[in-house]
Amino acid sequence: MSRTHLPTRRSHRLGVLGAAAILALLPAACGGDDDVATPDPGVAPAGGEAPTDAPVGDGVPKECATFIGIIEPADPAVLDTLPADWPEPPAGSTLCSGSGSGGTTTVQYATDVAPAEILAHYESELGADWNVAREAGAGDEILTGYRDAIGIQVQPRDGGFRIALADDAV
């Protein structure tokens, strides 16, 4: 056999092995409970109410069970990505999750404060420096707004709320 066929045969063997591995995984990916919907992490199921007994990870406050899929405690350093004059959350709120990079920050808080009171809190605290308005959301009203290149959204729900900021200048 000539050496010119070795790369071709080797490539063929690798291709066959790869195809076999994919075929071996297909039954696991296709089978199971086809009629059971898998909820998206952090999103309330239909009807707008989140489960109150969702499991949380080690070190995560039990209040955060209102959000699905929180497996580790929130890093308070994410709050440093918010504008310096960003208001504190309503009293009694618990930071549950957060992420911030590339000009986008999202944080979630658990609270017993009613959704309308959450919106009123941020409307009042943001003051005249921000152009804010209430809008219809998927369920409860949301608060949207902007200042300079920063857009915001405060999305309340039973048991908590989510804040999202996007800074177009970053």
Is residue 163 included in any domain, yes or no? yes
Is residue 113 included in any domain, yes or no? yes
Residues spanned by the domain of 163? 62-167
Give CA angle at 57 (65, 159), nearest 5°.
15
Is residue 128 included in any domain, yes or no? yes
pLDDT tops 70 at residue 166: yes
Q: Using DSSP, state whether 7 is helix, strand or coil.
A: helix
Write out the two tokens for 159: 């048991």
Classify residue 48 as left (phi > 0), alpha (psi -120 to 50) or beta.
left
pLDDT tops 60 at residue 105: yes
Is residue 110 included in any domain, yes or no? yes
Q: Which amino acid is at 44?
A: A
Write out the two tokens for 14: 């690798």
Q: Using DSSP, state whether 28 is helix, strand or coil.
A: helix
Distance of CA 4 to the CA centre of its chain: 53
Is residue 133 included in any domain, yes or no? yes
Number of domains in the chain: 1
pLDDT tens for 8-61 read 444 433 343 343 334 333 333 444 444 444 444 444 444 444 445 556 667 899
Is residue 147 included in any domain, yes or no? yes
